Structure 1
Amino acid sequence: MLPLFGDEKRRKINLGGSSSVSTLSAITDQAKARRIERTEQKRKNDSAIRIQAWWRAVAAIRAVKTNMRRLFEEDIEGLRGLRCIVLIGLDQGILGKWSQTILAKGEGSLFSPALGPQQSSWLVLIRQIFLLLLRSIAASPKSPDAVAHLKIMNMLVSADVVTRNLGPQGRDVAADILVYSLKRGFYPLLSEAIRSIPTTEAKSSTSLPLLVPLATVAFSALPTAHDAYAESLAALTSNILTIPLLPNRLPLPSLTHLSSHLPLSSFALLVFSPTNTAIADRIHLVANLMAFIPPRYAVLPAPALTAYLNLLTSLFDSLPPGAFEESSVRTAAAAAAASADADSDDESRPTVSVVSSFMPATPPPVLPTLDARTLKRLGTLVTPAHLTSLLNVTQKHPDATRRALFGVLLALEGIWPGKTSTVLGAIVVGGGGTSVIKELWRGSVRRANATSILREFQRATDAPDASIPSLLFLADLYTHALLTMGDDEFFGTSGSVGGSAAPRNPMSLDELTVFSRLLLDVAFGLYQGPLDSDGDTNMSGTTGPSGVRYTWEEVREKVTKCLVAIHARDSRRSFTPPDHWLVSTQIDLRSFVEAALFEEQQISTGNARAVTTRQIARLAPRLGILHNIPFSIPFSTRVQVFRSFIYSDAMARRQGEDLYNHHRLQITVRRENIAQDGFDRLRDVDLKGRIGITFIDKFGEEEAGIDGGGVFKEFFTSLCKEVFDSDRGLWLANKKNELYPNPHTYAVESHNLNWYRFIGRIVAKAMYEGILVDIAFAGFFLAKWLGKQSFLDDLASLDPELYNGLIFLKHYAGNPEDLSLNFTVAVEDFGVTKTVDLVPHGSNIAVTKENRLQYIYLVSHYRLSKQIKQQSDAFFEGLSEIIDHKWLKMFNQQELQILIGGTDSPVDLDDLQGNTQYGGIFDSNHATIISFWRVVHSFDQEQRRALLRFVTSCSRPPLLGFKELVPNFAIRDAGADELRLPTSSTCVNLLKLPRYQSEKVLRAKLLQAITANAGFDLS
């Protein structure tokens, strides 16, 4: 059917819209494609135009250079030739031909263009050519034309050569050429040229003999007052003296020239920042300085020597520790440092968990691998000969030079921690250690002020305390001196030793009193730390005082180490006034104790990773004080803290127990086999729990009685008497009857080490329960409990003959080699004497004047530590199962002994009487009790101690008084039979006293009982 009204011509519209959108998209895509095509075509056209322009330029340049080369050939020696060289630039062919032509015709041809009116033009051109020659050599020092280039360069900067050709103005011309090149990379290019010559080819190189004079020409061509002189000195230091193995690269004539022309006397003008150079360059700079400068120490003026020492200090301070070590030693040292405790020199001790998150450690810088020759040269830094020469030469110079030397030595300890003992030992032995200590103290440290030091620590001052480096070096040096200083020398009581008068302590006791108080105030302030806005300690330890490389944590450790060493001497024989070591006036003890308990709780309940004592000091400042300088807090306060730690631990343990399993562990012990039965039944049980004891008599019957604590104490007292009996072979006693582990090989058998472990648990149980044990341990053995080493001063208590022999050797005026000693020690074991090397191949190393202190230290360390290490470790392993190591850190050896066995103070009868309980018909007003106390008050101290031993099994009173005696001292009536002697039940601290009517009879019977150790009664 045909459409009506002509609809076939009307445009059709799709109301759905899909067709129109598709058409529009196609149109848009076509337009976009055409636009991209036009853009791409335009880019191609532009690129073609640029390429054509570049090619036309290249062609034009080539044409110009070709023309210039023609002009150069026509006038090689003239100004036109020089202009062509400058315009052509670095062209080896042109430069080579010019140099060869000039050399062939002589130096006159070089300077002839400058003799006319064109001298200024010649100077402008020749300065640029000088740089072109240097760049050519740096790029190819072994090229055939290198020697010619260098000869011309040496002519141009030689004042003598230029003056010979240009007259009096020649010196200024040479200086102008040199200054121009100095500002445009003269020394870096020179360094590049020298470095590019392989070390294996250096000795035969024809270029090096001509390069080396250029390195030092500035110091003869320029006056010292010229600005470029100091700039040249700095550039020489940072570019030439940092070249690896520089002395090994140079032919002998060149080495001699460089050594004799180094401007060492002008070192005071040197401005050098180590941080602007790479670590490897700094290390090589130190090695090269050690090659060139030590032979000239004696002729250096004071300002130059001071500047040189300050340069070394800044270099050392800018390098990471271990930078001078071999790669294998660095790795081992880094691993040891990562796990080492701050105060443990020898024994490893458990760490503790702490609630804290530490910032991730900054990765250590990558240190270069050092050539053996570099290591050998660096090693001269710490040789006794080098250190002694420095000490000797600086004695003639002002105090500033001497202080700079001490700064070097302090920085050297930090950069080379493995050589600290070597450095300090060399000074103590051969460097006049006594005079150095006196000089440090009287020259600087004596005037130091703790407040000023701590103000810098808190960043509360703009003026750094200049005494800090001297204080730290004195602390290190005196601590090292104390390692081999006997008490007779320390207290000034020694007479003639080794054929001469024994040296005295370099510091008087009065000076040590002042010095130790300064150290205490500084240490205490550093452990307190600056407080943040919340009142918490915020000591990051990432920065330190001005003038030293050490962080404040490291400063604190150095101060603490010396402080503790001095306090140890004072503990044995007091020379300080009362309360000298206390800081009670600076803190509130009550809040201090509360804070310490809180910190301990936070650490003990934490689940963070283990941390060291150093980190505890940062996180828990009160515990840090108690662990590191405990003597600053009164002993009674620390005992209170110790008991509180135990109480908290016991409470936490009880809360964690199953109520249905909360019972006493019951064991039976044969009275005739207490030690063995105790070992068999208790070595693997939890001794923190309650333990009930049932005794089996000799007939195999159980003894009557219920253990309310007293029977356990009886068992415990009897057990200690047996296991510490020296006849059993596990323990030996010194002349003071102090016990220490038997060092014989028998004692380190596995079975006996288990006994040491068990005995450690038993002693820990006594401390945990507050039971006093009438046992005295040797101080050097107690030091092991604290993770400390023992030194020569402790050896007198172990082996007086060996101690006297070592003192003789230390002060021997003759040649120690005449004594035919070597680095071995003789050990007798079951009648057989064997020789033990103190160091590898020690039998082949003779004891000399230089190494005798090391020998004395090693012998002392072997006898006091190494021989009993396994025994001590086993004992401590058992001890630490019950008593947390960090609790013990609050005490020194003498105080630990008091914790174990009570105090040696007189028996305070008023305190005893006030803490006594009465039983039966007795009370405080009974006639017999009144007579008893009247009689006891008439006793001397020995008789009072005998009474105390008779009743409690320990002759020493509790350290915090008789209120701490568990159970309390008690007296019960024992009937009216006056013929009976008093008896006691030591298990419950009970005295059974008959009702004597006569005070005279009471006195006689009581003395008879306590002096005969009779009257023990189980009823």
Structure 2
Amino acid sequence: MLPLFGDERRRQINLGGSSSVSTLSSITDQAKARRAERTEQKRKNDNATRIQAWWRGVSAIRAAKKEMRRVFEADVEGITGLRCLVLIGMDQDVLGRWSQVIGEKGEGSLFSLALGPHQSNWLVLIRQACLLLLRSVAASPQTPNAVAHLKNINLLVSSDAATRNLGSQGRDVAAGIMGYLLPRGFYPLLSQAIRSIPIAESKSSASLPLLVPLTTVAFSTLTVAADAYSVALSALIWTILTIPLLPNRLPLPSLTHLSSHLPMASLALLAPSSDSLTIDDKIHLVANLIAFTPPRYAALPAPALTAYLNLLTSVFDSLPTNVFDGKSPQAASAATATSAGLDSDSDDDSRPIVSIVSSFTVAPPPPLPTIDARTLKRITTFVAPTHLTSLLSATQKHPDVTRNALFSMLLALEGVWPGKKSMMLGAIIVGSGGASVIKELWRGSVRKASAPNILRPSIEGANSSIPPLLFLADLYSHALLTMGDDEFFGTSAHVGGSPSAPRNPMSLDELTVFSRLLLDVAFGLYQGPQDVDGGDANMSGTTGPKGVRYSWEEVRDKVTKCAVAIHARDSRRPFTPPEHWLVSAQIDLRSFVEAALFEEQQIATSNARAATMRQIARLAPRLGILHNIPFSIPFSTRVEVFRSFIYSDVMSRQRNPEDMYSMGGRLQITVRRESIAQDGFDRLRDADLKGRIGITFIDKFGEEEAGIDGGGVFKEFFTSLCKEVFDTDRGLWLANKKNELYPNPHSASVAHNLNWYRFIGQIIGKAMYEGILVDIAFAGFFLAKWLNKQSFLDDLASLDPELYNGLIFLKHYPGNPEDLSLNFAVAVEDFGVNKTVDLIPNGSNIAVTKENRLQYIYLISHYRLSKQIKLQSEAFFEGLSEIIDHKWLKMFNQQELQILIGGTDSPVDLDDLQGNTQYGGTFDANHATIIAFWRVVHSFDQEQRRALLRFVTSCSRPPLLGFKELNPNFAIRDAGADELRLPTSSTCVNLLKLPRYQSEKVLRAKLLQAITANAGFDLS
């Protein structure tokens, strides 16, 4: 059938659109596929072309090198052979062949082309050939070819060899070759070659004796004035002296050569940059410097010695803390300061004090490298007494130039290695003329410093005085550990068998100036160092003065520690002028107190995490001042703050509905009069002693005594309790010659006794909380434990005068201490059993020598003053801190704590007492007997006034803030008209019961009889 409408094969068009879209997409995909196929084919063709071109090039190069090898073999010694060698490049066979032939012909053959018509070509080619030889050695230093290469290299860069063969121009030729090699990796290639030789094979290596001379040949070839000389010096330090165990690698002749040829006298030309070195490199650099440099200290010129010390300072400051001990930076941070737990008995600054909000987190520190024992032993030389002595002797020749660099280096060393700080400082004090060092530090550097400049780090030159100030603070603080008061105050002549025993290296006048500088710097840093524009510097602990590894917090802690130590001496025997330690003129005390109370409230209401004293000092600056340099604030102001803290605590308890004592309730207990201490212990040791406590006495017949405890009965109980628990016959306490109490060292052997110490701590805390004065005197070294402070040699005099004098004798003994047959052990007697306690591991077998006697003095003092009563002190403090917050106690020193407990030793102010006295019965202020009474009392001397105060209140010392603080108030009541009776008292309510004497003479006699005989106590 014919088609009706023409060709039926014509393309069909679908006007609906769906079929046409599908067809178009298919066509597009096919086009893309064909395009990708063409692209891939083109890529393959291009790659094939490149491969073919590369292969043609390789084939051509191989052919050319083959031809050049043929030409080279035909003229090994000639200029053509040398040109072929350079063009062929790193071909071990060609290089080996050339070195072998030249070596067989002798050095004349090596330099012969430099004397003929090819001189200029030879100079160009031989430098490149020398670099190829050196690269070959670095790649394979133990091969025979390497030995041959090294012989030729040594000849080419030696000015002596070049001069022998080339005459006067020889030195310039050798210098030219060296100048070419230096920027092209001469020293890194040498370092690579030396490191590649195993230490076990180094002693027998044929290459090392040829490699070592190359490390120093530049300094005999080049002139000192040449730029290349300083380049070579820097490369030597940063690449060769960073090789691990370098002295151990070298045969003895090579070691001797290197040691004698090191250009240490030119160290002043060194470019001071070690930033590119790794921590391992810096450790090995330190070890190698201490191996090679000390024998040359005396011969080094001042600029070189200064550069050497600055180099060490730079390296030490860039190393992580405790890197030589293997401790992590976090552990180091917890262990050191210095610092914020100043003079801490536990030496731990991380002790949690209080909850405080803080949101920052610290990234974990990188792991520290493991140091080979041989390297560590070599580095330990830095803190050895002999090394320190030689270093100090060397700097004495040019003190104006080198001393500050020395002190900066020592400061950096103790910062990177705090575990050796005591050893280093002790070695300086004992074996290196410590007194002269301290004097030099003070008179040569620190005396010229000023607190305003130190606290304004942007002032030019302000930071230069910081290293000597910090090192002097550390050194003098360490000296005070074993300095008795006789030596400190300059009264130690003829002590220890010496006609002129050492005295304090600083006069009292100098100490007055120095301590004020320390105080001003510390006070300024607790507020934050100021820049010249008045803005606060960052006190985050991560930044500090430029050129010093320490943060501003660590700077603050160091100066604070020394200031506290000097203030402790001044507290016992004042030598500074009145108000020397106060900063009252720099602050408004009223606003200071208000700010401190606000900071305390902010901290007390925070519950995030435990904070250290250092963190509190950062976040609460007024509390930081009160905790760390409290003596800068008047004592009366601090007592006011203390009482305010307690008042705030009382108020917070009353606002707490869960507190059983918040609404005026009290804990009611019964106590037998014949067993006050035991009953008090049984009923109160687990009670909340901050709350109110009611006492009901049981008499000897088992009956309750009548009466309501309005406060007086509790005070009576408290007074009797203290009398019992502090009785030395109970075995818990001992008394020194000043009748000051401290825990019996042997009491801890009975475990139950520790519970008693905890309870007694609670009782003393209750007295301080309530403002009750206790007529008990504690030994200063025991009070120091309350503050987490360490006790030292000067405290030992109050505990054991004989041991103290013996240690002073040892310290100043002019002979050999080993003659005294002492060791690092102490003999103790415990309940009749003698035993020996080692002060250090294996101490019984370690003799006391001149070098370690200060350590022995420190350790035995620490043992007697701290370790023997450690458990007792901790138990006591645990109980005390349940009532009194530890940070409140930090506002006071030992002497001030004693005043808080027992009142002030100041004279009894009768006007204050009279103005705060209440009267009862027929008495009032205008009664004839009362008028006569005050006339009589005003005629008393201070001892009689104290006796009266003790008779009425049970404590002979007046309250801290005056008699208005006495609770209850001092009172006098009419006791009738019988003039034959003696006055009596009720100490529980501070009440004097006075008969109505008509005669002033009789009143005086009766009153004196009563107060001096301790008669007349009456409970009615």
Partner of 2:1015: 1014
Q: Given the alignment of the two structures, is residue 831 of structure 1 paired with residue 832 of structure 2, yes or no?
A: yes
Measured in 2, the distance between the counterparts of 1:1009 and 1:344 equals 47
Measured in 1, the distance between the counterparts of 2:182 and 2:874 equals 66
Single out whichever of 178-187 and 973-982 deviates more from structure 2: 973-982
Single out whichever of 328-337 and 2-11 deviates more from structure 2: 2-11
Partner of 1:300: 300
- Mapping 1:523-602, distance limit 5 Å: 523-530=522-529, 538-602=538-602
Partner of 1:519: 518
Measured in 2, the distance between the counterparts of 1:334 and 1:447 equals 32
Q: Structure 1 residues 488, 659: CA separation in 2 closer, same or farther (over 3 Å shift)?
A: closer
Q: Given the alignment of the two structures, is residue 468 of structure 1 paired with residue 466 of structure 2, yes or no?
A: yes
1:507 is aligned with what amino acid? M
Measured in 2, the distance between the counterparts of 1:982 and 1:398 equals 74
Partner of 1:752: 753
Measured in 2, the distance between the counterparts of 1:90 and 1:829 equals 81
Measured in 1, the distance between the counterparts of 2:82 and 2:530 equals 71
SS in structure 1 of the partner of residue 829 of structure 2: strand
SS in structure 1 of the partner of residue 697 of structure 2: strand
Partner of 1:440: 441
Q: Structure 1 residues 213, 8: CA separation in 2 closer, same or farther (over 3 Å shift)?
A: closer
**Could you tell me how far 1:981 is from its partner in structure 2?**
2.2
1:849 is aligned with what amino acid? K
- Mapping 1:897-908, distance limit 5 Å: 897-908=898-909
Q: Is the 2:456–2:530 Cα contact (8 Å) retained in structure 1?
A: no
**Could you tell me how far 1:526 is from its partner in structure 2?**
0.8
Partner of 2:696: 694
CA deviations on 1:83-134 (whole Å, 9 max, x unpaired) are 1111111111111111111112222222222222221111111100100000
CA deviations on 1:865-912 (whole Å, 9 max, x unpaired) are 000000000000111111111110000000000000000000001111
Q: Is the 1:826–1:834 Cα contact (8 Å) retained in structure 2?
A: yes
1:925 is aligned with what amino acid? N
SS in structure 2 of the partner of residue 466 of structure 1: helix
Q: Given the alignment of the two structures, is residue 722 of structure 1 paired with residue 724 of structure 2, yes or no?
A: yes
Measured in 1, the distance between the counterparts of 2:364 and 2:13 equals 74
Q: Structure 1 residues 941, 353: CA separation in 2 closer, same or farther (over 3 Å shift)?
A: closer
**Could you tell me how far 1:973 is from its partner in structure 2?**
1.8
In the alignment, structure 2 segments of 5+ residues that lack a partner are none
SS in structure 1 of the partner of residue 742 of structure 2: strand
Measured in 2, the distance between the counterparts of 1:547 and 1:135 equals 39
Partner of 1:323: 323
**Could you tell me how far 1:343 is from its partner in structure 2?**
2.2
Partner of 2:69: 69
Q: Is the 2:716–2:987 Cα contact (8 Å) retained in structure 1?
A: yes
Measured in 2, the distance between the counterparts of 1:980 and 1:7 equals 155
**Could you tell me how far 1:445 is from its partner in structure 2?**
1.2
Single out whichever of 47-56 and 237-246 deviates more from structure 2: 47-56
Q: Structure 1 residues 736, 659: CA separation in 2 closer, same or farther (over 3 Å shift)?
A: closer
Partner of 1:346: 345
**Could you tell me how far 1:538 is from its partner in structure 2?**
4.9
CA RMSD of aligned residues (A): 2.2
Q: Is the 1:529–1:539 Cα contact (8 Å) retained in structure 2?
A: yes
Q: Structure 1 residues 909, 443: CA separation in 2 closer, same or farther (over 3 Å shift)?
A: same
Q: Structure 1 residues 950, 162: CA separation in 2 closer, same or farther (over 3 Å shift)?
A: same
**Could you tell me how far 1:788 is from its partner in structure 2?**
0.6
Single out whichever of 589-598 and 832-841 deviates more from structure 2: 832-841
- Mapping 1:235-384, distance limit 5 Å: 235-325=235-325, 327=326, 336=335, 342-343=341-342, 345-347=344-346, 350-384=351-385
Q: Is the 1:537–1:621 Cα contact (8 Å) retained in structure 2?
A: no
Partner of 1:134: 134
Partner of 1:870: 871
Measured in 1, the distance between the counterparts of 2:689 and 2:105 equals 102
Q: Is the 1:464–1:546 Cα contact (8 Å) retained in structure 2?
A: no
Q: Given the alignment of the two structures, is residue 509 of structure 1 paired with residue 511 of structure 2, yes or no?
A: no
Measured in 1, the distance between the counterparts of 2:568 and 2:9 equals 120
Q: Is the 1:352–1:604 Cα contact (8 Å) retained in structure 2?
A: no
Measured in 1, the distance between the counterparts of 2:29 and 2:443 equals 92
Q: Given the alignment of the two structures, is residue 737 of structure 1 paired with residue 755 of structure 2, yes or no?
A: no
Q: Given the alignment of the two structures, is residue 706 of structure 1 paired with residue 697 of structure 2, yes or no?
A: no
**Could you tell me how far 1:831 is from its partner in structure 2?**
3.2
**Could you tell me how far 1:334 is from its partner in structure 2?**
6.5
Q: Structure 1 residues 534, 266: CA separation in 2 closer, same or farther (over 3 Å shift)?
A: closer
CA deviations on 1:246-278 (whole Å, 9 max, x unpaired) are 111111111111111111221222223122211
**Could you tell me how far 1:553 is from its partner in structure 2?**
1.1
Partner of 1:185: 185
Measured in 1, the distance between the counterparts of 2:357 and 2:67 equals 78
Partner of 1:844: 845
1:226 is aligned with what amino acid? A
**Could you tell me how far 1:8 is from its partner in structure 2?**
9.4
1:707 is aligned with what amino acid? D
Measured in 2, the distance between the counterparts of 1:730 and 1:35 equals 101
Partner of 2:167: 167
Measured in 2, the distance between the counterparts of 1:630 and 1:623 equals 9
Measured in 1, the distance between the counterparts of 2:648 and 2:534 equals 27
Q: Is the 2:733–2:743 Cα contact (8 Å) retained in structure 1?
A: yes
TM-score by length of 1: 0.96
1:823 is aligned with what amino acid? F
- Mapping 1:803-842, distance limit 5 Å: 803-842=804-843
**Could you tell me how far 1:185 is from its partner in structure 2?**
0.8
1:395 is aligned with what amino acid? Q
**Could you tell me how far 1:534 is from its partner in structure 2?**
12
Partner of 2:122: 122
- Mapping 1:642-653, distance limit 5 Å: 642-653=642-653
Measured in 1, the distance between the counterparts of 2:304 and 2:422 equals 29
Measured in 2, the distance between the counterparts of 1:535 and 1:301 equals 43
**Could you tell me how far 1:486 is from its partner in structure 2?**
0.6
Measured in 2, the distance between the counterparts of 1:389 and 1:601 equals 55
Q: Is the 2:329–2:365 Cα contact (8 Å) retained in structure 1?
A: no
SS in structure 1 of the partner of residue 462 of structure 2: coil
Count how many residue pairs are aligned between Structure 1 and Structure 2.
1013
Q: Is the 2:339–2:558 Cα contact (8 Å) retained in structure 1?
A: no
Q: Structure 1 residues 438, 531: CA separation in 2 closer, same or farther (over 3 Å shift)?
A: closer
SS in structure 2 of the partner of residue 359 of structure 1: coil
Q: Structure 1 residues 189, 770: CA separation in 2 closer, same or farther (over 3 Å shift)?
A: same
**Could you tell me how far 1:927 is from its partner in structure 2?**
2.1
Measured in 2, the distance between the counterparts of 1:7 and 1:160 equals 106
Partner of 1:497: 495
- Mapping 1:399-478, distance limit 5 Å: 399-456=400-457, 459=458, 461-478=459-476
In the alignment, structure 1 segments of 5+ residues that lack a partner are none
Q: Is the 1:352–1:603 Cα contact (8 Å) retained in structure 2?
A: no
Q: Structure 1 residues 11, 285: CA separation in 2 closer, same or farther (over 3 Å shift)?
A: closer
CA deviations on 1:594-637 (whole Å, 9 max, x unpaired) are 11111111112112221211111111111111111000000011
Q: Structure 1 residues 236, 919: CA separation in 2 closer, same or farther (over 3 Å shift)?
A: same
Q: Structure 1 residues 182, 1010: CA separation in 2 closer, same or farther (over 3 Å shift)?
A: same
**Could you tell me how far 1:337 is from its partner in structure 2?**
5.2
Q: Structure 1 residues 890, 687: CA separation in 2 closer, same or farther (over 3 Å shift)?
A: same
Measured in 2, the distance between the counterparts of 1:64 and 1:860 equals 85
1:483 is aligned with what amino acid? L
Q: Is the 1:779–1:894 Cα contact (8 Å) retained in structure 2?
A: yes
2:683 is aligned with what amino acid? R
**Could you tell me how far 1:476 is from its partner in structure 2?**
1.0
**Could you tell me how far 1:729 is from its partner in structure 2?**
0.2
Measured in 2, the distance between the counterparts of 1:504 and 1:736 equals 27
Measured in 1, the distance between the counterparts of 2:144 and 2:866 equals 68
Q: Is the 1:350–1:885 Cα contact (8 Å) retained in structure 2?
A: no
Measured in 2, the distance between the counterparts of 1:731 and 1:213 equals 73
2:691 is aligned with what amino acid? G
**Could you tell me how far 1:948 is from its partner in structure 2?**
0.8
Single out whichever of 45-54 and 348-357 deviates more from structure 2: 348-357
Measured in 2, the distance between the counterparts of 1:783 and 1:789 equals 7
Measured in 1, the distance between the counterparts of 2:339 and 2:490 equals 36
Measured in 2, the distance between the counterparts of 1:335 and 1:964 equals 41
Measured in 2, the distance between the counterparts of 1:536 and 1:974 equals 66
Q: Structure 1 residues 831, 329: CA separation in 2 closer, same or farther (over 3 Å shift)?
A: farther
Q: Is the 2:339–2:557 Cα contact (8 Å) retained in structure 1?
A: no
**Could you tell me how far 1:20 is from its partner in structure 2?**
3.0
SS in structure 1 of the partner of residue 826 of structure 2: strand
Measured in 2, the distance between the counterparts of 1:448 and 1:590 equals 31
Measured in 2, the distance between the counterparts of 1:167 and 1:441 equals 58
2:382 is aligned with what amino acid? L
